[in-house]
Amino acid sequence: MLTGVPGNQIRMAAPAPKPEPEGCRVTDPIVVEALAVRTAEGPGQVKLLPPSTVSCELARAVSLWLDTSLQPLARGAFGRELTALRVGGGHECRRRNRQTQGSFSEHATGQALDIFAFQLGDEKQGGLAVSVERPNGLEQTRFLDGVRQSACGAFMTVLGPGADAAHANHLHIDIQRRRTAASRFCQ
Ligand SMILES: [Zn+2]
């Protein structure tokens, strides 16, 4: 359960203004503003900037990943807490890679999230931002490698820089079901 956990800031998504086409419906849509994580000092939270509309199922997967993998990775790499994710592409009714034809994107059903940067520490006290497109130095590059590896275990699909031109500046994660658990797609 996501609600009732201190640190989680979640609200119900407003109903769609007009009926959405088949393939663009989100099951249990919620707006995620922040997710709870455990920090060295106790309960903390990671904000989503801007707040993102996703399925409850995706929010649960992201929540678990943040708490068990990402927060420890951030602390290990920089000695700082992860405080925010700069994101885009929550729920959006569109086809893959913004083509006019073809399958609907996992974003169309709220099962995906795009991460552009990781924010560490308190911004007012000289926080650190790690950009997926332009990591600054070896430490940040290694951190992003670790992030990607852990994402490959936590989600069904992980695409990022090097996968294709559409993913040069962000990390795409989704929980789209594939035929078998072994057919995870990780680049
Ligand atoms: Zn995406």
pLDDT tens across 117-138, in order?
A: 999 998 777 789 999 999 999 9
How sure is the predictor about 14, in pLDDT bands with cuts at 50, 70 and 90?
A: confident
Q: Mean pLDDT score of the chain, rounded to an integer?
A: 90
Measure 99 CA to ligand 1 centroid, in angstroms: 13
End-to-end CA distance of the chain: 30
DSSP code, position 170: -
* Residue 104 pLDDT: 87
Looking at residues 148-162, what average pLDDT do you find?
Answer: 94
Measure 41 CA to ligand 1 centroid, in angstroms: 33
* Residue 154 pLDDT: 93
Q: What gap in Å lies between CA 124 and CA 10, rounded to an integer?
A: 24
**What are the residues facing 45 on neighbouring strands?**
36
Measure 59 CA to ligand 1 centroid, in angstroms: 15
Measure 1 CA to ligand 1 centroid, in angstroms: 25
Encode pLDDT of 53-85 as tens digits: 999 999 999 999 999 999 999 999 999 999 999
DSSP code, position 74: H
What type of residue is 67? Answer: D
Domains located in the chain, CATH noted? 25-186 (3.30.1380)
Measure 157 CA to ligand 1 centroid, in angstroms: 10
* Residue 180 pLDDT: 61
Q: Of 126, 117, 121, 140, nearest to 44 (Cα)?
A: 121
Measure 112 CA to ligand 1 centroid, in angstroms: 6
pLDDT at residue 181 tops 60: no
Predicted TM-score (pTM) above 0.85: yes
Measure 40 CA to ligand 1 centroid, in angstroms: 31
Measure 113 CA to ligand 1 centroid, in angstroms: 6
How sure is the predictor about 183, in pLDDT bands with cuts at 50, 70 and 90?
A: low
- Angle, alpha carbons 32-144-159 (nearest 5°): 70
Measure 30 CA to ligand 1 centroid, in angstroms: 18
Q: What gap in Å lies between CA 106 and CA 15, rounded to an integer?
A: 19
pLDDT at residue 27 tops 90: no
Q: Of 80, 48, 82, 55, nearest to 67 (Cα)?
A: 82
Q: Residue 167, Cβ neighbours under 10 Å: how many?
A: 19
